Amino acid sequence: MNTVLNRIFRKPLKNKISKKVDFSAILMVYKSQNGAWRGFAHPYNVTTEFDNRDKTISVLKEQVEAYEEGLRKYNNPEHLRSVPFSNVEDEQMFSRLILSGGLYKTLLNEGKITASDYYAETQRVQA
């Protein structure tokens, strides 16, 4: 995940974050412009959309678990470990999270952020 974060920040993270990053993905669910709750997992580009937040979170977590099982089964192929965004709104929401240092640090330290219009959590590395 550090490689992906380095690419996002366009420089090594050693000056930004002192603790070891022990998660494989960031899951984010937000109220989309179309009124639905949209969820995505970065860097996998796994996405889902439902009419309520809890259902979106639940299905997204199941999708990510299945995706990571597939990655392990096929020896973590690089082209499936880091997939670009396919949705502009997802990318904008991710940038909002990453570019806000306070939010990103909270996510790293707490593992979860909840607000009225979005939810974000780190998917912890499975042993």
- Joined together, the tokens standing for residue 79 give 């082209």
Q: How far is CA 7 from CA 28, 29, 47, 63, 124, in A?
A: 19, 22, 21, 25, 20
Assess whether pLDDT exceeds 80 at residue 9: no
Nearest alpha carbon to residue 24 among 49, 38, 40, 44: 44
Assess whether pLDDT exceeds 90 at residue 90: yes
Is the whole-model pTM more than 0.95? Answer: no
